[in-house]
Amino acid sequence: MNLRQIEVFRAVMATGSITKAATLLHVSQPGVSRLIRHLELQLGVALFERRTGRLVATPEAHTLQQEVDKVYRGVRQVQDVASNLRFGAHATLRVLSSANTALDLVPRAIARLLEKYPHAQVSFEAVPTREIVKSLVAEEADVAISSASLDHPVLDVQVFGQWTLMCALPPGHALANAKRLDLAAALRERLVLYSPEAPQSRIIDAWLAERDIARRRSVEVRSGYAACSMVAHGAGVAFVDDLSARAFQQGRLAIAAIPKAPRFDLLSVSNVNRPLSALGQTFLKMVREELRSLQATAL
């Protein structure tokens, strides 16, 4: 049986009439009759008996109907999935993120994505940069949002925004009350520093070298949010990305703008051999929109 035969057979079984089945399918009555006769010849059994102007399904027809219904449900499911591919419904998306973009930016975009596509499924994980590269190259993830530069021949890396370095101070700190941050004075404070591979670490080292200031290390961390927490508890002064500062609980920190503050690219990353789905493209659009919304809010 082909799909057209299945459709006509189901219509006749449902209506009990060639005429009604033709009306339901928007086809001619003779066409339905011919198809049913051909099907009976093909199967070698009678599917319907004609009794006083009406059709009565035979036991063989009822047996066939049970199997036809299973196939039809499967076909409908395939049709539904196919029709929803362009809209992202029922699709899946595997998202990776740097620590700072995982705090607020990416969750906001994912929440919006699921509002639009409630049947979509998203897996999300914040991982180090080296794990982002490894997973995307192995095609174990679809897309990543990174605040650190990365490079690999099979990765498609696109800049969609920037993050800015800011100074996090304990509330009430004298430097927080000035109209313009005294960077040299801030660098003489006890500092919350970063592991050497972090971009903040390179910038802080350059500032210290330019001003011939001895490093006063208090604690070393691996993320801007951890630095914010250390500052909030009085461990020192930190230079943090604006995304981490925005995600930290307001009132627990004083955030000061840095004169001529360094800026770093925010990147969307995917595998060139695995083009993003419509769902993935919509996600990136929402990430860009949420970044603009976040950074339009004053700290």
Asked if residues 85 and 91 have their Cβ atoms less than 8 Å apart, the reply is yes
Q: Let me know whether 182 and 260 are in one domain.
A: yes
Strands (E) across 127-274 are located at 143-146, 155-169, 191-194, 217-221, 237-241, 254-257, 263-271
CATH number, domain containing residue 35: 1.10.10.10
218-250 pLDDT per residue, tens:
899 999 999 999 999 999 999 999 999 999 877
Q: Let me know whether 138 and 281 are in one domain.
A: yes
H or E stretch covering 125: strand 121-126
CATH number, domain containing residue 216: 3.40.190.10
- Evaluate if residue 80 carries a pLDDT over 90: no
Pairing of strands 217-221, 191-194: parallel
- Evaluate if residue 79 carries a pLDDT over 80: no
Q: Let me know whether 203 and 250 are in one domain.
A: yes
Asked if residues 265 and 145 have their Cβ atoms less than 8 Å apart, the reply is no
Q: Which amino acid is at 8?
A: V
Question: What's the number of domains the chain is made of?
Answer: 3
pTM of this structure: 0.70
Q: Let me know whether 46 and 187 are in one domain.
A: no
Provide the Cα torsion 125, 128, 133, 136; round to 10°: 0
How far apart CA 103 and CA 240 sit, in angstroms, is: 14
| Token digits of residue 126 | 């914040």
Q: Let me know whether 82 and 10 are in one domain.
A: yes
Beta bridge partners of 50: 55
Residue bearing tokens 């219904």: 69
Domain that holds residue 143: 92-150+265-295
| Token digits of residue 233 | 């508890």
Q: Considering only CA atoms, give the Rg of the chain.
A: 32
Q: Let me know whether 133 and 271 are in one domain.
A: yes
Residue at 156 is within a domain: no
Q: Let me know whether 141 and 62 are in one domain.
A: no
* Structural domain ending residue among the three candidates 86, 107, 136: 86
Q: Which amino acid is at 271?
A: N
Q: Let me know whether 134 and 279 are in one domain.
A: yes
Of 249, 284, 32, the closest CA to residue 144 belongs to: 284
Residue bearing tokens 């992202």: 88
Residue 90 pLDDT grade (very low, low, confident, very high; cuts 50, 70, 90): low
